[in-house]
Amino acid sequence: MRRSKLRVLLIAEAANPDWVSVPLVGWSLAKALCDQVEGHLVTQIRNKDAISRTGWVEGSEFTAIDTEALERPLWRAASLLRMGSDKGWTLTTAMRSLAYPYFEHLVWKKFGPDIRAGRYDVVHRITPLSPTANSSIAKKCKKAGVPFIVGPLNGGVPWPPGFDTERRREKEYLSYIRGMYKGLPGRRSMLSATSAIITGSRYTASEIPNVHQSKCIHLPENAINPSRFNRVASQDLTLPLRGCFIGRMVPCKGTDMLLEAVAPHLRDGMLVLDMVGDGPMLASLKEIAKREGIEAGVTFHGWLEHASVQEVAARSNLLLFPSVKDFGGGAVLEAMALGVVPVVCDYAGPGELVSDDLGYKVQMGSREEIISRLREQLARIIADPTELPVKARAARSHVFNEFTWEAKAGQVLQVYDWVLGRQPDKPRFDL
């Protein structure tokens, strides 16, 4: 009952139940929190219609802030400079960070009087997830005596050594100077005024100055909605085993490395592969399959609705996900929720989500080393797949216990209790 009375202003510039990635994270966490506290969501106007369709009432449950006069030209500029719809995400993040101060200016203009009057116990900025977006509201909340929480912060995972070609193919030129954000005006005052910093990855936590590390709480941002996962992989160990990849067909996802790694196993009839997703590399991946003589063993499904993705994934034993730059790893969690065992590169988000009892991690290295290590790992699994059902059960149990949005909201509520002095010890989540 005590928690249900907490009054929380939730700021999520990106929060949309109909979209994916960051907007879905923003909406899902905000909704889960509002199920447990007296919350009010503040978001950008582009999300208004989608949120209204869920039954939420504008004015009482959420407020939509109109910054389109500034955001539209910045978005058009970013689209032109990116030179591709699936490229240059660092540039897009930078452009949105330029617009974000105006969004917060309008948020404070509307809600500042209520915050100063003590009508909210906590102010929590959920999105942007990017640590490059600074919040001027933090300092104002501190002055008003209201705890300000930011996060989960995530992003900016560096490209690993040896992948400059992929980096340039993704048009990630701005990533070479990304570290300059640490000198942006407002960052120091935001970190100083913030009561708690939720970090979605170990890397992001490492970028927070040592003086503020005592405020940092590690909590990955992704989770699942159990109602969307009504299938369970059977883990039939009859050969050939079945693997799947789910995601964008872009260089950072390692899809070309995946095809080269699995080629011998597909030709031998020990493995079949489903590739789900679309993107600029799809045509070249089909060419690789033809060159390697594995067209009969791999199916390119293209983009599918979520229900159809679940149907394909639930037929699989393994999620093969050799991404070299994935700060979240939502696809990995969703696969584990279906009882599909993940095989990932031990780097960034996926590497933090998968432990040895839940799946397999391939050591990072050069492109050639990753291909060789992935191929060898699959050979070992094919030779003795008996531990797959054990790992699948453990992975599914782990996700449903720790990585539902309800569980995530409960973890965040512990952070609220800590900053309000209702919980003496800083929360620690061993996930």
Say whether pLDDT at 3 is over 90.
no
The dihedral of CA 413, 415, 419, 421: what is its sign?
positive
Q: Nearest CA to 225 among 31, 12, 430?
A: 31
Residues 163-185: what's their mean pLDDT? Answer: 64
pLDDT digits (tens, 9 = 90+) for 7-34: 999 999 999 999 988 999 999 999 999 9
Residue 389, judged by CB atoms within 10 A of its CB (0-12, 13-18, 19+), counts as middle
Domain boundaries along the sequence of the chain: 3-223+404-419, 226-401
Q: How far apart are CA 205 and CA 217, in angstroms?
A: 8
Is the Cβ–Cβ distance between 218 and 429 less than 8 Å?
Answer: yes
Question: pLDDT band at residue 93, thresholds of 50, 70 and 90?
Answer: low
The identity of residue 188, as a single letter, is R
Is the Cβ–Cβ distance between 38 and 5 less than 8 Å?
Answer: yes
Is the Cβ–Cβ distance between 217 and 413 less than 8 Å?
Answer: no
Residues 247-257: what's their mean pLDDT? Answer: 94
Is the Cβ–Cβ distance between 329 and 224 less than 8 Å?
Answer: no
DSSP 426: P
pLDDT digits (tens, 9 = 90+) for 362-389: 999 999 999 999 999 999 999 999 999 9
Instruction: Encode 265-300 in three state secondary structure.
Output: HHHCCCEEEEEECCCCCHHHHHHHHHHHCCHHHEEE
Topology annotation, domain 3-223+404-419: Rossmann fold (3.40.50)
- How, if at all, do strands 360-362 and 62-65 pair? unpaired
- Which regions of 385-425 does DSSP assign to beta strands (E)? none
Looking at domain 226-401, what is its CATH homologous superfamily?
Glycogen Phosphorylase B; (3.40.50.2000)
Residues 150-165: what's their mean pLDDT? Answer: 84
pLDDT digits (tens, 9 = 90+) for 24-82: 999 999 999 999 999 999 999 999 999 999 999 999 999 999 999 887 776 666 556 55
Say whether pLDDT at 419 is over 90.
yes
**Mean pLDDT lowest among 79-93, 136-150, 231-245, 372-386:** 79-93
Start-to-end C-alpha separation, the chain: 27
Q: What does the block give as tokens for 145? A: 């005596």
Task: Note the pLDDT of residue 186.
Answer: 81
Question: pLDDT band at residue 97, thresholds of 50, 70 and 90?
Answer: low
The answer to whether the 3-223+404-419 and 226-401 domains have the same CATH topology is: yes
pLDDT digits (tens, 9 = 90+) for 216-227: 999 999 999 998
Question: pLDDT band at residue 327, thresholds of 50, 70 and 90?
Answer: confident
Give CA separation, 134 vs 113, 157, 192, in Å. 21, 18, 12
- Which regions of 45-181 does DSSP assign to beta strands (E)? 62-65, 122-127, 148-153
